[in-house]
């Protein structure tokens, strides 16, 4: 019976989705599910959710909920990480402190100052988690959902290169899903491949029956002037390839959009919106908690769209499929540095994850990715060496930050964020 450890299972809505996708596979109905969280209330809701999903689907999964991470990891075949260090309180700091300096973000979890400080909080946790895996389940496949994705997978490759690690994000799937809906073409039967970096990959192939679907997108944009006020449409028009993350995310990765009130209004951007999203996530948790207490059914989404269940199914059954994953670059993208983390198509089978070599990206797309990779590289190096100057230099190289703030202001902002996050920041960097 394959065993799956969910670390940070208190992310109950996401845990519910993953469990439902997993247990809907007929070959996975008797999984050994281990749920771990350090918050007892969230762990209790995660357990209640798992037991309800198991019962409603008529499956036979063995479910254990434990605050003991070592018990959850012991002998696990698959480890899924969903931990967010600091929770909503840390998210507020990451967004509100820079905003006081005049630096706007929307989500703040991938790159830029928000991504950097989220990474600084997460790397120490990843180090201990991967050390536990090295002792208790060294052959397990580690699947990371926690942002900042590229930085976290990169850090894992530094501290535990022997652990099989892949980063998973649903942005490519949902980008293509939404584009197909926009042009009135079914997703099923569509061929697509993207490559680049997480949240900033590029839809290089998008076709149906041998016909590129990009001309249909061009026609849809020409027919609807309102689309010209979307960040991603503007990026596509200027760069020639559609980016694979939402306009909300994409707006804060470049110098083009958040630098002035006029641009914010033109592209209908909602700064600091992740605070509201985080509050909604808390409300969803509280709703699930009440529903379970009253014996009410939770909403179960249909369809396996998350990659972790698909990977587990492929490894267990040998069923081949292709996903998009975040992996250490070993020649998968020619014009991105080896050792950096890239997002590419990956074939999956009984032997695990097999990245697909994509050659060189279009020159303009690679050029847009380079500052993102530089921010990630300096953040990893800052924690590896304990040099706090590298933290500030990472933020200085972020296009959004450097378009909005002077170097002096960036240094002061990083000082304030470091003090605000306190002992969640690695000691040498405080």
Buried-exposed string 101-110: b where 16+ CB fall within 10 A, e elsewhere: bebbbbbbbb
Q: Supply the residues annotated as catalytic.
A: 170
Strands 32-36 and 3-7: parallel
Cβ-proximal residues to 11 (8 Å cutoff; 6+ apart), any chain: 42, 82, 84
- Cα 136 to Cα 79: distance, rounded to the nearest angstrom: 11
- Cα 110 to Cα 376: distance, rounded to the nearest angstrom: 9
Closest by alpha carbon to 151, among 407, 419, 380, 403? Answer: 380
**Eight-state DSSP code of residue 296:** P
Q: Transcribe 360-374 into DSSP letters.
A: PPPHHHHHHHHHHHH
Contact criterion met (CB below 8 Å) for 210 and 224: no
Tokens (6 digits) for 211: 């016909």
In 151-299 the beta strands, taken as DSSP E runs, fall at: 164-167, 190-197, 200-208, 211-212
Residue entry with tokens 């991967």 = 130
Closest by alpha carbon to 271, among 279, 259, 280, 283? Answer: 259
Helix (H) or strand (E) holding 65: strand 62-66
Strands 141-144 and 200-208: unpaired
CB 429: neighbour CB atoms within 10 A?
A: 18
**Eight-state DSSP code of residue 359:** -
What number of helices (H) and strands (E) belong to the chain? 17, 12
Tokens (6 digits) for 32: 């050994």
**Eight-state DSSP code of residue 147:** S
């Amino acid at each position: 019976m394959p065993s799956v450890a969910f670390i940070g299972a208190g992310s109950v809505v996401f845990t519910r989705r993953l469990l439902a996708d997993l247990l809907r596979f007929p070959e996975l109905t008797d999984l050994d599910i281990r749920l771990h969280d350090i918050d007892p209330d969230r762990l209790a809701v995660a357990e209640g959710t798992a037991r309800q999903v198991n019962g409603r689907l008529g499956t036979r999964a063995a479910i254990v909920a434990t605050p003991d991470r070592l018990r959850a990891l012991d002998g696990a075949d698959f480890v899924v990480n969903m931990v967010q260090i600091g929770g909503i309180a840390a998210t507020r700091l990451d967004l509100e402190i820079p905003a006081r300096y005049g630096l706007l973000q929307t989500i703040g979890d991938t790159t830029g100052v928000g991504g950097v400080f989220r990474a600084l909080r997460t790397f120490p946790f990843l180090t201990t988690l991967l050390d536990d895996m090295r002792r208790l389940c060294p052959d397990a496949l580690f699947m990371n959902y926690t942002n900042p994705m590229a930085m976290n997978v990169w850090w894992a490759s530094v501290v535990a290169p022997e652990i099989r690690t892949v980063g998973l994000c649903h942005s490519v799937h949902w980008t293509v899903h939404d584009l197909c809906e926009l042009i009135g073409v079914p997703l099923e039967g569509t061929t697509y491949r993207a490559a680049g970096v997480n949240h900033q990959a590029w839809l290089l192939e998008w076709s149906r029956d041998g016909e590129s679907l990009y001309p249909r997108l061009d026609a849809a944009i020409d027919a609807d002037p309102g689309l010209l006020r979307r960040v991603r449409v503007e990026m596509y028009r200027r760069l020639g390839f559609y980016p694979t993350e939402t306009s909300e995310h994409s707006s804060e990765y470049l110098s083009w959009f958040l630098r002035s009130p006029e641009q914010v209004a033109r592209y209908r951007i909602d700064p600091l919106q992740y605070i509201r999203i985080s509050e909604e996530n808390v409300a969803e948790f509280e709703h699930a908690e009440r529903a379970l207490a009253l014996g009410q059914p939770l909403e179960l989404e249909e369809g396996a769209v998350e990659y972790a269940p698909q990977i587990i199914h492929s490894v267990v059954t040998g069923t081949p499929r292709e996903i998009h994953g975040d992996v250490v670059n070993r020649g998968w993208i020619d014009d991105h540095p080896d050792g950096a983390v890239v997002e590419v198509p990956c074939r999956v089978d009984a032997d695990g994850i097999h990245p697909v070599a994509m050659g060189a990206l279009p020159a303009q797309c690679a050029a847009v990715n380079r500052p993102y990779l530089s921010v990630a590289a300096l953040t990893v190096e800052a924690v590896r060496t304990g040099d706090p100057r590298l933290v500030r230099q990472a933020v200085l190289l972020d296009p959004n930050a450097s378009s909005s703030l002077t170097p002096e202001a960036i240094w002061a902002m990083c000082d304030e964020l470091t003090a605000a996050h306190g002992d969640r920041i690695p000691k040498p960097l405080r």
